[in-house]
Amino acid sequence: MHFRQQIRERVKEILEAIPVFTDRCHINRVRTLSKAEMPAVCIYTRRTSGERQIDQWRDKVTCNLEIELHAMGVDAEAMAADIDTLCLWVQTELFKDQTLGDICEDIEHKGDEIETDAESADVSIHARMTFEVVVVFENTATADDFQLVDVIWDPAPKDGVVVAEDQLLLAGSGFELGGSIAYDGGLTYSGMP
């Protein structure tokens, strides 16, 4: 499962534990909600960027997690207070699990946008909460192809001469490459192409 999907599923699980959001969390950016379905939460991810880590098999990936809260009522002032309370609950619950169950390294609240619509008798209010999620993505499909199995380094003197030798074996899908590189006053290669 892709890490973005894991993030969305875990956030849904966390937020549905809040009684007002039970069965009201949707992993969807575009959803038409009726008054009876509110308050409701829509969860999605966007704007992913990555950078190479210490080896060729891991990238540090940052993605924006968007959590939209939707509510509707008749009193605009009360609705504004309600949406702030809902935002606080979301922020508090995500703060309790900043690795989202070990899916990510960190999650940080970056800001909110609030919009209201009072064209009808009911007031609808929407809050978009933006979080930055940092994940170390391990490309396990590639990492399994190359493994450093054995390395030995022996700089101990032998007969008064310092001899250094590396034994190594590289193995992966469909190949095995092994041998030694030695230093005994010159360089000796054995078993290497």
**Span 130-149, mean pLDDT?**
67
User: Looking at the predicted structure, is the pLDDT value of residue 10 above 90?
Assistant: yes
pTM score of the predicted model: 0.66
**Span 61-76, mean pLDDT?**
88
Alpha-carbon distance 8 to 48, whole Å? Answer: 14
Per-residue tokens: 43:
């969860």
Q: Domain 3-139 in CATH: superfamily?
A: Phage minor tail protein U (3.30.70.1700)
Tell me the pLDDT tens digit for each residue of 31-66.
677 788 888 999 998 877 766 665 666 778 888 999
pLDDT at 88 (0 to 100) = 94
Instruction: Answer for the pair 68, 127: CB distance below 8 angstroms, yes or no.
Output: yes
- Name the segment(s) of the chain with CATH classification 3.30.70.1700: 3-139
**Would you place residue 144 in the very low, low, confident or very high pLDDT band (cuts 50, 70, 90)?**
very low
Alpha-carbon distance 15 to 24, whole Å? Answer: 9
Instruction: Answer for the pair 98, 89: CB distance below 8 angstroms, yes or no.
Output: no
**Would you place residue 2 in the very low, low, confident or very high pLDDT band (cuts 50, 70, 90)?**
confident
Instruction: Answer for the pair 50, 60: CB distance below 8 angstroms, yes or no.
Output: yes
Cα-based distances in Å from 171 to 7, 57, 148, 149, 168: 33, 16, 7, 7, 10
Which of 8-17, 25-34, 150-159 shows the lowest per-residue confidence on average (mean pLDDT)? 150-159
Instruction: Answer for the pair 105, 136: CB distance below 8 angstroms, yes or no.
Output: yes
